[in-house]
Amino acid sequence: MVFRFRSHLIIKNGMMTTTLTISSVIKKILLVILVFAGLYYSKGFLMPLCIGGILATLFLPFCNWMERKNLSKGLAAFLCLFTLSLIIAGFVTLLSWKISDLIDDFALIKQRSMEVSAQAQDYIFDHLGISVEEQLKIIKKEQPSYTTIMQMVAGSIAYLFTNFILVIVYFVLLLYYRAHIKDFLLKLVKMSQRKEMGKIMYSASKVSQQYLVGLSKMIVCLWVMYGIGFSVLGVENAIFFAILCGLLEIIPFVGNITGTTLTLLVTAMHGAEFSVLVGIAVVYGTVQFIQGWLLEPLILGPQVRINSLFTIIALVLGELLWGIPGIILAIPVTAIFKIICDHIEMLKPYGFLVGEIESQQSGIPFIEKIRIRLFGTKKE
């Protein structure tokens, strides 16, 4: 009788343990769903705040340096804003200068586009039997009205302007109140955990700086390499397309392909020879090889680098949640998430999962690391 009672308790306890495990898993899944739902529906608030925060971490050393020179917090934050404005104005001026050269060839590009469009219409008529008039009717039905287009453009401009103002405001205020925010975060944890919390905040800010500075260096290197390659090939507006391909590096994987594709299409519309188009593809492949095997290990540290699988996952989730700004923010936010995971014991497996495999090459000189990546063996 006693044996049966104990067996029943054991089975019952086993069932309770299984039920609790399933319940905890369901709660975690629901929590993840709620987090992503919150990120999606609060993007109007969080998106400019995240962009302003990441830009603020980039200017944090400059702001600290000015304050050590006995400048007030407000003046230091204002000078950071002034410097950021100069950088943005420089980029806009550079692009405007090169776009003006591209506009000079707009008539030729328009003519080529009309020729390609006419060839496409003839192809559709010959193979599908749809006349040109019917094709134009279909296009008119699919195209939105002029009023709708103007409303969409006006809405987009207002949306961009509003978010730009919010980013600037958050940028300045986060720099001004950074010490106050740091003290608040330290007060959220126990006294014994404040030292570890300080390390997390310091590492998170450093990884943002490391990513943005490394990305800037990478873009400059890409400008030089694409500029030399396209100029040697004789590509029209080579400098413009070099700048475009470099700037699109902000969006990993997709950006480089998009920039090179645009270069190929516009060059083809200019009537370039097939050898030039092949040369553009070769330049793209060469630059990607140098970038992936030399520049990234040299410029971007292992803390910033995320493995390819989770880079793609982060980009897809960023696009689904916040669109193009989400794609731009995906990598630095994921890198910060990795840093946080690396400093919290129960989250360390997730940081390991997201990061690159670097432990086997720790302490190895950079040139030796490159040789190992190329040939896969360590020199004895």
Residue 237 identity? N
Nearest to 133 by CA among 121, 116, 123: 121
Give the pTM. 0.70
Give the range among 86-100, 185-199, 295-309 with minimum mean pLDDT.
Answer: 295-309
The tens digit of pLDDT for each residue in 338-380 reads 877 877 778 888 888 888 765 444 445 445 555 555 545 554 4
Q: Which tokens go with 281?
A: 């593809």
Residue position matching structure tokens 């989730």: 317
Looking at residue 348, its amino acid is K
Lowest mean pLDDT among 20-24, 73-77, 244-248, 328-332: 20-24
Q: For the segment 35-71, what is each residue's pLDDT rounded down to a tens digit?
A: 888 888 888 888 899 889 888 888 888 898 998 888 8
